[in-house]
Amino acid sequence: MNRIETIDIILALEKSEDQEAWRKKVARKLRVHPKQIEQMRLRKHSIDARQHELKVQLRIEVGIGMPLPPEPEYKADYPQVPQSARTMVIIGCGPAGMFAALRALELGCKPIILERGKDASARRFDLGPIMREGRVVEDSNYCFGEGGAGTFSDGKLYTRATKRGPVRDVYETFVAHGAPPRILTDAHPHIGSNLLPNVVKAIRASILDAGGEVHFGAKVCRLLRSADGKRMVGVATADGREFTGDAVILATGHSARDIYRLLAEENILMEKKTFAVGVRIEHPQPLIDSIQYHFQRGTERPRILPAASYRLACKIGGRGVHSFCMCPGGFIVPAATENDEVVVNGMSLSRRDSAYANSGMVVSVEPEDTAEFDHEHGILAGIAFQKSMEVLAAQTGGGMQKAPGQRVTDFLAAKISSSLPGTSYVPGTTTAPLHEIMPAFIVTRMQAGLRKFGHGMRGYITEEAGLLGFETRTSSPLRVPRDENDLQHPDIRGLYPCGEGAGYAGGIISAALDGMKCAEAAAAVSV
């Protein structure tokens, strides 16, 4: 009987790109003759490296006795904004803000995006001073500008937030705007910092072509409220402009600390929440390949295999210790937003062909852990805690965005390193006693966690691995509350806290989904 089936198969690595091997395996599983298979199409691809013999898991759509339907054509096609459209003012042009704008267009609303930083092309030039001179361009850097923090710091799309919304729609939107189609089939999709800027520029073009607005250099400095103060009606920017609308979507990301200060000054309710801080840990990529793929060290990785990654997590003393934003074949980059601090983050290009692998290695921080900052900073105590570590990193690094560093083995032995391993971090490193300068509750848990990870991942603890400080921008220490039904702030109608900065996302995909969700909520409310 002619039909279409979707089937999962497992093949040895050397057979995984052999269409005849696919056909034979599929035919056996479906109990049909190989000649009955008219067409096959890959739907999912992942590598199973849990055993010494590597396997490739494939999900294949199969046409038995008939061709498969044509693949959909992914187009960036949005309706023109009608003259009578409701207006959404969107603060921030990261994934939450961009996808809120696209969804607003689909719903017949006009989005106006305000971004403090520059467009992706101009922003690229502002990364030069921080890399070469150790000077931060404070409104245009790895954190601020078109596309948000992910634009020039990796572009990983993998998410476990599959219940939050239509993840596939987000992937398809990226493909429609120029992302490689393989993100639709890879188990851990990744665009890369070399490709993502053009994707976000294409999204901006879609917004503008449909009648939306995108304003760069538009740093929000004041909130506009109704006469009774109970409704948000717009915002003012530092250059003297005012933007009003039927809804204000706050999608600033977790590093816009001036926005948190502005909310606190306006007595707008915020809540403390758990976040995480720590370091970047960096290994030679061939070492991680040999551990994860069970190679003899020195064996060249077959081209069919991607640079190996890992994910590590445990609980130590009631706090989580885990790897974060792992970047195989990647680089450590300076992610500071002010000139008195050092912040490190990780990124990979699409090829993931750097000689190094890096990951955040962080410890959970609860509100009680930042109590020493409560008296002076109140609700902003978590931000003050982060900032204190960042300033300390700048001081111990010695300036010019040099990062304080230590070999992993010396960190565990509680001794200063006489030298540091090679690194991808361009501004440079300075040997420092991270075990002394980080808060003790972080150090003891990280030491215990690293030892535990080393037992499970043999070879992970080595003199070849270095720690760089500090990784502090994993997430916001604050949540801007919202009603679980209409997503508006409980005290200020018309204000929609959104994405990572408001405490509702953790990565590109979950932020994009939250942006879509907030736009839908804003469009559904009658003024």
**Residue whose tokens read 């994405």:** 499
pLDDT tens digit string along 50-99?
A: 888 899 999 999 999 999 999 999 999 999 999 999 999 999 999 999 99
The average pLDDT across 353-370 equals 97
Q: pLDDT band at 150, cuts 50/70/90?
A: confident
Strand duo 429-431 + 403-407: pairing: parallel
Selection from 86, 179, 177, 193 nearest residue 145 by Cα: 193
Structure tokens at 178: 């120029």
Structure tokens at 323: 């790897």
What is the pLDDT at residue 165? 78
Strand partners, 4: 63
pLDDT tens digit string along 106-123?
A: 999 999 999 999 999 999
**Residue whose tokens read 């994934």:** 95
Query: Domain 3-64: which topology?
Result: Dodecin subunit-like (3.30.1660)
The average pLDDT across 261-289 equals 97
CB 182 within 8 A of CB 192: no
Computed over every residue of the chain, the mean pLDDT equals 94
Q: Where are the domains of the chain?
A: 3-64, 87-270+479-524, 275-471
What percent of the chain is helix, strand and coil (3-state, nearest 5)?
30, 25, 45
What is the pLDDT at residue 199? 95
The average pLDDT across 314-334 equals 96
Structure tokens at 277: 């801080």
Strands (E) located in 185-251: 213-216, 220-225, 232-237, 242-244, 247-250
What is the pLDDT at residue 438? 97
What is the pLDDT at residue 119? 96
What is the pLDDT at residue 526? 60
What is the pLDDT at residue 149? 86
Q: pLDDT band at 300, cuts 50/70/90?
A: confident
Q: pLDDT band at 226, cuts 50/70/90?
A: very high
**149-153, 382-386, 509-513 — which is least confidently predicted?**
149-153
Selection from 478, 220, 264, 471 nearest residue 376 by Cα: 264
Residue 486 has pLDDT above 90, yes or no: yes
Residue 122: count of CB within 10 angstroms of its CB: 14
In whole angstroms, give the CA distance from residue 331 to residue 312. 19
Percentage above 70 pLDDT, the chain: 98
Is there a shared CATH topology between the 3-64 domain and the 87-270+479-524 domain?
no
**Residue whose tokens read 């105590």:** 381
Between 190 and 470, the more confident residue is 470
- Which residue blocks in 107-195 are alpha helix, DSSP H? 120-132, 167-176
CA-CA-CA-CA torsion sign (174, 313, 289, 460): positive
Residue 463: count of CB within 10 angstroms of its CB: 12
pLDDT tens digit string along 388-403?
A: 999 999 999 999 999 9
CA-CA-CA-CA torsion sign (239, 478, 123, 280): positive
Give the distance from CA 394 to its chain's centroid: 24
Give the distance from CA 284 to its chain's centroid: 23
**Residue whose tokens read 């150090």:** 443
In whole angstroms, give the CA distance from residue 117 to residue 327. 25
Selection from 92, 467, 143 nearest residue 335 by Cα: 143
Query: Domain 87-270+479-524: which topology?
Result: FAD/NAD(P)-binding domain (3.50.50)
Residue 408 has pLDDT above 70, yes or no: yes
Q: pLDDT band at 162, cuts 50/70/90?
A: low
Mark 318-350 as b/e (b = at least 16 C-beta within 10 Å): ebbbbbbbbbbbbbbbbbbbeeebbbbbbbbbb
**95-99, 124-128, 339-343 — which is least confidently predicted?**
124-128
| 147, burial (CB in 10 Å: exposed 0-12, middle 13-18, buried 19+) | buried
The average pLDDT across 237-253 equals 97
What is the pLDDT at residue 51? 80
Q: E strand or H helix at 44, and its extent?
A: strand 37-48
